[in-house]
Amino acid sequence: MRVVTRTDAVEFIRKHGGRLYVWADLMRCTGQRCTFFTTSIEPPTEPHEFRRFGGGDFELFFSDEGLEPPTELRLELAGRRRKHISVYEGLSWVVRDHGPQVLGPPE
């Protein structure tokens, strides 16, 4: 999986401990299964099997919940008043809120 990150997102992640957790949430959408990705700078309270991606300026912990992982994951800093990391996996921006982080389209 290729991770593409803007400089301001890297700075935000490093300022908040240097770790980012991204996991898939599976839901039903009009009969079909939809996948939403959730981000957090803190580990989630529910159990997930994370794979660690390191070697850059921060550690990324990613859980695809048994699905095929995306070929590319884009991380951007979003939010005007409440900064958060947004993730795009090549299909669509998705919105999920988890603690101090919000996953959604860049503003």
Please list the residues that pair with 27 across neighbouring strands: 34
Q: Is the pLDDT of residue 61 over 70?
A: yes
What topology is assigned to 2-103 in CATH?
Hypothetical Protein Aq_1857; Chain: A; (2.60.300)
Q: Which pair of tokens denotes residue 96?
A: 């999920």
Kindly state the average pLDDT of the residues 67-79: 84
Task: List the beta bridge partners of residue 101.
Answer: 98
- pLDDT of 65 over the 70 cut: yes
Indicate the DSSP class of residue 14.
Answer: H
**Single pTM value for the model:** 0.76
- Report the length, in residues, of the chain: 107
Mean pLDDT of the chain: 77
Report the Cα–Cα distance between both ends of the chain, in Å, rounded.
25
